Structure 1
Amino acid sequence: MVARALTIAGSDSGGGAGIQADLKAFSAMGVYGASAVTAVTAQNTRSVTAIHPIPDDVVAAQIEAVLDDIQIDAIKIGMLGTPSLIKTVAHALKDYTGPIILDPVMVAKSGAVLLADEAVDALKAELVGRATLLTPNLPEAAALVGAGEVGVQADALLKLGARAVLMKGGHADGAMCEDLFVSANSTRTFTAVRINTANTHGTGCSLSSAIAAGLAQSEQLETAVEKAHGWLHQAIRAADELGVGRGHGPVHHFHALWS
């Protein structure tokens, strides 16, 4: 049987991030994708012009419908938005025992705020402790545990209950991009040459989903992170080939499949 993964996240009408990026990443990695939509956004490569939250009970119904019928091998959680929705998702997953990748989406590539300030505490209280892997970028890590050295931030996130943390270095400077993986018994840096392109929309969504796909296929966590990291690097390298939009275009999820 093919591995199956569920994404719980917002919809991006431009197709570069959110649910759309998650499902593309699942497919590119050979995994069947199911979804629960938490919000509908009017969005393109330049801006987010509207956000319509899906009612909490409808989000819960989507999750319950999927889990009631489909064996889900891994779950990726992205944009949630409000404290009540965070609590709703946590409750809907109370009996789920598989791996969960939590991508604490807070700000879109265009700068639009996607997570209300008051929801940060709810995220820490309700979901961080459920995460097999937490995948914050540097601004998200600072919002969760305060500013500081990356390794110190990672340790603080582990103390909140996450089993492992991947500190994404895309917002840092320098010729090399470094992602720091930290768990209770392992520390490892994944390094790649920084690619000079504006087309990086959806990188965080795509990376976390690619990792979830690896876990759905029974890969060990570090192996899944390594494989996803290499795949995303090539997706960024090939992003300019797509020519989608006039702003921050998407990465090329299917760089290995499209001629």
Structure 2
Amino acid sequence: MLTTDQLNQRVLLETDVDYCRSLIAIAPSTQNRSADNFMPEVGGDPKGDHLGKHEQILKRAFDIVFAAMFLIVSFPMLILLSIALQIDSPGRLFFVQQRVGQRGRMFNCYKFRTMHEDAERLLDELLASSPEAKREWDLDHKLRNDPRVSRLGGIIRKLSLDELPQLLNILSGEMSVVGPRPIVRAEILKYGSFFSDYCAVKPGLTGLWQVNGRNDVSYDERVQLDCEYRRRASFLFDMTIVLKTVPAVLGAKGSY
């Protein structure tokens, strides 16, 4: 017998799944797969478990230990970073946005706010006045010269320090250390029939996209990297990606 909280949670999940399915049903695809395969059934996992039971336990244990230790060790730096961000751009410290998680479930993803408080107005003005910026934005929702980003925010984004609050998402089980980068609902259509690969695993703090050029990689290539991760997923593969993340972050290639 399900409790009231469990019933409410199931209704919310079904709502998210139905929403994503409705989007994907109209997405262009070159694959011969039906729309029902794009999203998992409620409580299920598309295409079966990507890891064995023991590896799932090992992966979750690593996530908890890594996130907890990193938060403890970096706590003084996070405090100084928070103060500096408030001095540079007063306002909210964190940027919270709904992202798509495993099984298509939406969750609140945390980041340090690196943009001005009136970021949406600045973006609208730029897209309305610059066709070139509009084309760049429509391509992958990124801008190389983004007027919304504050001075310190640009440096923090280049070093990926803005994503450190996602360690809380990892501890809560919504994300993993390694996996596809969490996407927003508007990006679901870009995955087409490959969206089920994205939903098969938890989104991650780092992943193949981060260690293979980040924003220098086209969105189609990013989707294929997510599919490759889903196919090759293993604890050993995760450790390889973690080791590659350090030079990738320090080199800041493709980060803006």
Give TM-score, length-normalised by structure 1.
Answer: 0.29
Structure 1 or 2: larger strand share? 1
Structure 1 or 2: larger helix share? 2
Q: Which has the larger radius of gyration?
A: 2
Give TM-score, length-normalised by structure 2.
Answer: 0.29
